[in-house]
Amino acid sequence: MRQRRVSQSPMPPSSSLVLKIIIANVVIYVLYLVGLRVGLPGLDRLLLVPREVLTEGAVWQLVTSVFLHDPVAPSHLLWNMLLLWMFGAQLESLRGSRTTLKAYAAGALGGGLFTLLFGGLTHALAPADSSASAWWSVAHLGASGAINGIFACWAGTLWRQRVSFMFFGELEARTFFLIFLGIELLGALSLGGGVSVTSHLGGMAVGLAMGRDWLNLRRIRLLWERRRIQAELARLEAERTRKGFQVIRGGKDQDDMES
């Protein structure tokens, strides 16, 4: 089977959905900055804090935190929107707007839920004076989980196809994914802070599952049915081999005919 080469050009195809998401993020970021300037109360309750979600029921933070970015570093927003434009537009051309929107939402939710899980585990298991325990009460914000969901879904869709991407040269999409995953894991092991690695990893896991169709319920049912049929055929074959079979000739024997 020949592999189709996909060129990841510096100018992705036009995408109305991705453009709308970018505009929404920029507008909300500007409003967030204005709210901070005028001292609007309650803005800190929009950030994702595992302690507040798990003990106070602030579940809205799983949504609101995705549209907020670091007010001190505009590069946080710019970098996320650049990655969204690059991979989101490509994904939309491959899978359509609906799947792209699902990947964005699922990546955001997966990143948030993994952050909550990690925060709860560190609170329960890590010593109170350790750096890991701070994950319980630290605030998370940004669309990184959603962006990583888009990227992983893009990589999962292409997977074995060769992709030409900027300074990386030409390589398989799965190799490109593993490079980014390795970078994220190194970031998780480093002692530096300021990056919500849990959001990144959670978004990548969900996005990859979508890109590889691991979450396709119809495909899962078909696979189970196929395995059931194969198991039944194997059982029948084993039963036939165990019992053996007897060939019964039809018609009369030659002796009977002579008599």
Fold designation for 5-211: Rhomboid-like fold (1.20.1540)
SS3 content of the chain, % helix, strand, coil (to 5): 70, 5, 25
pLDDT for residue 255 is more than 60: no
Statement: residue 152 has pLDDT above 90: yes
pLDDT tens, residue by residue, 100-127: 999 999 999 999 999 999 999 998 888 8
Residue 2 pLDDT level (bands cut at 50, 70, 90): very low
**What are the φ and ψ backbone dihedral angles of 145, each rounded to 5 degrees?**
-60, -45
Only one residue has tokens 């691991």, namely 214
Tokens of 68: 């907020």
Residue 141 C-alpha from the chain's centroid: 18
Question: In angstroms, rounded to a whole number, what is the distance separating the alpha carbons of residues 93 and 13?
Answer: 7
Distances (CA, A) of 36 to 41, 66, 80, 143: 8, 17, 21, 19
Residue 102 to residues 64, 108, 133, 202, 215, Cα–Cα distance (Å)? 17, 10, 32, 15, 12
Per-residue confidence band for 139, with pLDDT thresholds at 50, 70 and 90: very high
Decide: helix, strand or coil at residue 4: coil
CA distances 83 to 109, 253, 258, Å, are 18, 83, 91
Better-scored residue on pLDDT, 192 or 205: 205
Strand segments (E) across the chain: 5-8, 162-165, 169-172
Residue 102 identity? K
Predicted confidence (pLDDT) at residue 184 exceeds the cutoff of 80: yes
What's the distance, CA 71 to chain centroid?
A: 26
Instruction: Provide the pLDDT for residue 90.
Output: 92
Domains of the chain, residue spans:
5-211
4 band by pLDDT with thresholds 50, 70 and 90: very low
The secondary structure of 169-207 as a DSSP string is EEEEHHHHHHHHHHHHHHHHHSS--S--HHHHHHHHHHH
For residue 254, pLDDT over 70 is answered with no
- The pLDDT > 70 percentage for the chain reads 85
Query: 170 with 163: CB under 8 angstroms?
Result: yes
Confidence grade of residue 165 (pLDDT, cut at 50, 70, 90): confident
Q: Is the pLDDT confidence value at 1 over 50?
A: no
* For residue 201, pLDDT beyond 60: yes
pTM summary value: 0.81
